[in-house]
Amino acid sequence: MKRILTILAAVVPLAALMPLPGSSAATTAASTATACTTVSIKAPQGVRIDSLTGVDQPGGTVVIPPNPPFPSGPVTGVPAYCEVTVQLSHPGAGDHVKTVVWLPKTGWNGRFQALGGSAYQAGEFGIPWVNAVKAGYAVASTDAGVGPSPFTADAWALKDGKVNQALLLNFASRSLHDLATVGKAVTNQYYGHAANYSYWTGCSTGGRQGYIEAQQHPDDFDGILAQSPAVNWDRWGVAAIWPAVVMNQEHTYPTACVFDEFNKAAVQACDSKDGVVNGVIDQPQKCTWAPERLVGKTVLCDGKPVTITAADARVVRKIWDGPRGLWYGLTRGSAFDGLAATADGKAVPFVVPDSWVRDFLKLDPAFDTSTLTYSQYAKLFRQSEAQYNEVIGSDDPDLSAFRRSGGKLLSWHGLSDSLIPALGTVDYRKRVERELGGSTRVNDFYRLFLAPGAGHCGGGITPTDPLASLVKWVEQGQAPATLPAATVDGTERRDLCAYPSVSKYKGYGDPKQASSYRCS
């Protein structure tokens, strides 16, 4: 569970303060047109503003309180800022939504940035938020009226025994458009003119939110950075408990040590197929190593010998295969402890999809998903598709309006993501290509980068500053052919290639350096 919480903490890399083309940071740091305490805006259509307060904040050191699994602690060097809190609602919905905007008093770079959430938390109010203000952005986020808990929807999903459709709509899409509208209006009112450019950034749920904004509100943002996106939510939300269902139905619960042994063997078998041995399967979708080859091997787990069984191999194969005919499974090389965790001889389902099944499909927060049979599971999968695809699928492939608006969508996904398999994002990208006429036309406004060996929202070799690449694309027309990526300690570097190209080792040079690879 500890590792799950760590990888849920999606810390979005933020671009350094960069002046707009043809100007300087000094010239874009306009003096305010109104005092912070007197900021006021008109309510957008379909929205009622219940209260709006502006408070001058001194900046300096801002302390982010603990809110697991998100990072906390002090952030120094924050400029003085105006904090505007807007409480809003939708007539007849019975909701109460909080939207917060921070506006730097000096050094504004002329840009507006909205931050997405993680799991069931609709917005980001932590360290990435503060870093955005340090970088000169007017930054905003929303709680969508669903509260601060990222782990489950138990507290808000149901109302009188039925799905709370108003809050589900808020979480899925409505509050995102409100955030864009309200956040930009506050920015305009405070500085005396509109932001020159507006951006969306987010990972996981935040990535899904970025995609649905491009699909439903193509004029909201000039650039969208959507990382490890939880698109196809209606299918992923059920597919992600498949490993637990498999273990429960097979009555076999491999330990983390045994699962790791299968992954090590798969990496050893497929690592060299990309031309370099570096502990990473560059194209895991092409790795077909059979887990049955490990049956009978004895490994040491906590100092005790354990013999791998045919039942262990059967469980691993089913997890890698995924629910066949329905959705994708984990790729070989991805850690099992996100979706296939075990403890005390039991399966531990990932909390987010477990909540989805309990709250939105069974309408019972106390439902025990460990009782699901294979046939019951398949019925729930089809139910989720039929009932929720149009609400929260976030996978409409028609991005033609976003293309016409001039928007740019930059997305990346780790090929060893242990929570949201990247093949779901690839599936969406392929559907967009079929809808809009091929890879070349789609690359004009939507670029996807796959990161070999990278996990969920980080871990491994991941993009170092994708927002900077998006800003250059939007404001200077420089479409990124590659995304610079590196490990956290900077010891390994690689340039990720725009899909459908892949990064290949040249056959010479240090495999830890980007110069040793080319896009092919």
Mind telling me the catalytic residues? 204, 417, 456
CA–CA separation, 35 vs 231, rounded Å?
40
Check if the beta carbon of residue 224 is closer than 8 Å to that of residue 410.
Answer: yes
Check if the beta carbon of residue 111 is closer than 8 Å to that of residue 197.
Answer: yes
Q: Are strands 408-414 and 223-227 parallel, antiparallel or unpaired?
A: parallel
Nearest to 333 by CA among 435, 214, 498, 451: 451
Helix (H, G, I), strand (E, B) or coil at 485: strand
Largest Cα span, the chain: 74
CA–CA separation, 47 vs 163, rounded Å?
22
Please name the residues in contact with 406: beta carbons below 8 A apart, sequence gap of 6 or more.
Answer: 222, 445
Please name the residues in contact with 217: beta carbons below 8 A apart, sequence gap of 6 or more.
Answer: 176, 177, 180
Polymer length in residues for the chain: 520
What DSSP designation does 330 have? P
Return the C-alpha torsion angle 361, 216, 17, 448, nearest 10: 80
Q: What does the block give as tokens for 486?
A: 């590196």
Nearest to 479 by CA among 469, 464, 467: 469
H or E stretch at 121: strand 121-123
- CA R_g for the chain: 23
CA–CA separation, 365 vs 151, rounded Å?
13
> Does the N-terminal peptide bond of residue 463 adopt cis geometry, omega within 30 degrees of 0?
no
Check if the beta carbon of residue 128 is closer than 8 Å to that of residue 199.
Answer: no
Please name the residues in contact with 376: beta carbons below 8 A apart, sequence gap of 6 or more.
Answer: none
What DSSP designation does 351 have? H
CA–CA separation, 364 vs 411, rounded Å?
35
Nearest to 390 by CA among 238, 152, 212, 157: 212
> Does the N-terminal peptide bond of residue 421 adopt cis geometry, omega within 30 degrees of 0?
no
Alpha helices in 240-330 (DSSP H): 242-250, 256-270, 310-321
Nearest to 210 by CA among 28, 367, 425, 423: 425
